[in-house]
Every structure is written in structure tokens, then in C-alpha cells.
């Protein structure tokens, strides 16, 4: 019960990894705040969490509405006194070629995956520092480790998150702020269904690779364990994680493989 009575705020909690994280935290009797822009799905997740904990609070949050984050955070602090753990899990993926993607789609993905995430982090951070410390996690992707076909804006946003949160970790070490960046590979979720195509519309298809990925539940267990062990980074997935090491140590081989692997 490492997280018992800890106040945990999870964004993107209405499905996939976020939902699985909520269930795992609920099993440890945490005080949960679950957010997304899908209210009915959040309420479904809340019912699941109530099987394990009596405290799971639903909070509608559109991660792109940056101007509302300060007031939302203040209300939560007023209610709970603190936020012990912030899990920045909200995000959206992409399935489109660079040459076919208009700039407004790139901007939309950056607003969701990068600017919304760091804006929320910046509103919560002062309260954590005032409280003597806290834990901030960000869900990136192995596409945050390297570029990959059909994911140019998504990969760029995840690379940006990496730079931001590594800097945050270095700057706030003395304030007892701990930072984790999680790099999931192929996790069996609906992320490819909701990924934006070249027109900014949902891709609407389950990728073959996604469909054979590890479960969101298994991912969430590894995620929580990484927080408990105060890891700086955690890679989560299966055989696809080899690409991270191939990219690092055998870059020429990586580029050849990246051209041949089916990206959907």
C-alpha cells in the first residue's frame, strides 16, 4: 500500500493506460482524481475504481484549455490540500505522412501532447514545492526516443516532453520533486483508433502492432513500480523496445529497419 491516502491526479484517465493506472492506484487505496474530456467514460472508470476505494473523484479537463488550469488546480488544492502525484497521461497520436500533414494538425498535436501537459505541470508544481515535495510523471512513448514513419508531430511532441521533464528534474531536485518519464511501446489500447490522420480526423483503425501489444493493465503495473522505485525513466513493452537500443548503439541498422517496418 505504497500509495495509500496519497492524492493522485491522472489525466487521460478515461481509457487505455490512464484507466489502468487509475485501477492500480485504487487498489492501493489512493485518493484519486481522474480527468479527461470524456465525462461519461470517466464515470465508467470511476465505478470500476469504487470496487477498490471510496475516494475517486471525476474532473472534466480539456488539456487544450490552458486558461482554465489554474482555477481548476486551486479548487483541487482547496479540496484535498495537496497533490502528491501528478500523472500527465493525456495525449493523442498520429497516422499521417509529413508531406500530407497541414501545419494546423501538427499544432493540434503539439497543443495536446506538449503544451497542455507542461501547462498543467506548471500550475501544480508550486503547490508541490510549498508542500515539501511531490512526484510528477509524464507518459511519453518510444517514439519520443526516435522518429518513426507516420508519427512526425507525435514524435516531435514526445521528444519535447523529454527535454522539458529532464530539465524540470534537474531544477527541482532540492525541492524534493521527483520526475519520471515513461516510454510505452506497443500497448493494446485504442490510441491508434483516435490518432489524427492528415485531415486531423480520427484514424479509426487498430494497428496490427498495437493489437498484439501488452495489456494496459500490465503496463500500469510496471508504471507504478517505476514510481515506487523512484526511477527516472521506464521503458514498457515487449520486443519492440529493442528498437530503442538498436537506435542508440546501431543507428545505421535502425534506419534500415525503420524504413521496412509496417508503421500501422
- Domains along the sequence of the chain with CATH: 7-239 (3.40.50.720)
Of the residues 154, 173, 223, 255, only one is catalytic, namely 154
Identify the helix (H) or strand (E) that includes residue 220.
helix 216-228
User: Which pLDDT does position 182 carry in this prediction?
Assistant: 98
Write down the pLDDT at residue 145: 97
Other C-beta atoms lying within 10 Å of the C-beta of residue 251? 11
Helix or strand or coil: residue 221? helix
Can you give the pLDDT at residue 23? 98
What is the per-residue pLDDT for 210? Answer: 81
Q: What is the DSSP string of 23-51?
A: HHHHHTT-EEEEEES-HHHHHHHHHHHTT
Q: Give the per-residue pLDDT at 260.
A: 82
Q: What angle do CA 135, 138, 143 make, to 5 degrees?
A: 155
Known catalytic residue at 154: yes
> What distance lies between CA 69 and its chain's CA centroid?
17
* Helix or strand (DSSP H, E) at 254: helix 251-260
Q: How far is CA 251 from CA 13, 33, 95, 258, in A?
A: 35, 41, 24, 10
**198 burial class (0-12, 13-18, 19+ CB within 10 angstroms)?**
middle
Residue 80: the pLDDT is: 97
CA–CA dist 2, 246 (Å, integer) = 35
Cell numbers 484535498 correspond to what residue?
80
pLDDT by residue, tens only, the chain of 264 residues: 899 999 999 999 999 999 999 999 999 999 999 999 999 999 999 999 999 999 999 999 999 999 999 999 999 999 999 999 999 999 999 999 999 999 999 999 999 999 999 999 999 999 999 999 999 999 999 999 999 999 999 999 999 999 999 999 999 999 999 999 999 999 999 999 999 999 999 999 988 888 889 999 999 999 999 999 999 999 999 999 999 999 999 999 999 998 887 777
Amino acid at each position: 500500500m505504497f500509495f495509500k491516502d496519497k492524492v493522485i491526479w491522472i489525466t487521460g484517465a478515461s481509457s487505455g493506460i490512464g484507466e489502468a493506472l487509475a485501477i492500480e492506484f485504487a487498489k492501493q487505496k489512493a485518493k484519486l482524481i481522474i480527468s479527461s474530456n470524456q465525462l461519461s467514460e470517466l464515470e465508467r472508470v470511476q465505478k470500476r475504481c469504487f470496487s477498490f476505494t471510496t475516494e475517486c473523484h471525476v474532473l472534466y479537463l480539456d488539456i487544450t484549455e490552458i486558461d482554465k488550469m489554474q482555477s481548476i488546480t486551486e479548487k483541487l488544492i482547496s479540496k484535498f490540500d495537496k497533490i502528491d502525484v501528478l500523472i500527465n497521461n493525456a495525449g493523442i497520436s498520429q497516422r499521417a505522412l509529413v508531406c500530407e500533414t497541414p501545419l494546423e494538425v501538427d499544432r493540434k498535436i503539439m497543443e495536446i501532447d506538449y503544451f497542455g501537459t507542461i501547462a498543467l505541470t506548471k500550475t501544480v508544481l508550486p503547490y508541490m514545492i510549498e508542500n515539501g515535495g511531490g512526484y510528477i510523471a509524464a507518459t511519453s512513448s518510444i517514439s519520443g526516443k526516435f522518429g518513426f514513419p507516420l508519427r512526425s508531430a507525435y514524435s516531435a511532441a514526445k521528444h519535447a516532453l523529454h527535454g522539458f521533464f529532464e530539465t524540470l528534474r534537474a531544477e527541482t531536485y532540492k525541492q524534493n520533486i521527483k520526475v519520471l518519464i515513461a516510454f510505452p511501446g506497443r500497448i493494446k489500447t485504442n490510441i491508434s483508433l483516435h490518432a489524427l490522420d492528415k485531415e486531423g480526423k480520427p484514424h479509426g483503425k487498430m494497428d496490427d502492432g498495437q493489437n498484439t501489444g501488452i495489456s494496459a493493465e500490465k503496463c500500469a503495473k510496471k508504471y507504478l513500480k517505476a514510481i515506487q522505485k523512484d526511477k527516472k525513466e521506464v521503458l514498457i513493452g515487449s520486443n519492440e523496445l529493442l528498437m530503442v537500443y538498436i537506435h542508440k548503439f546501431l543507428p545505421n541498422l535502425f534506419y534500415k529497419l525503420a524504413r521496412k517496418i509496417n508503421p500501422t
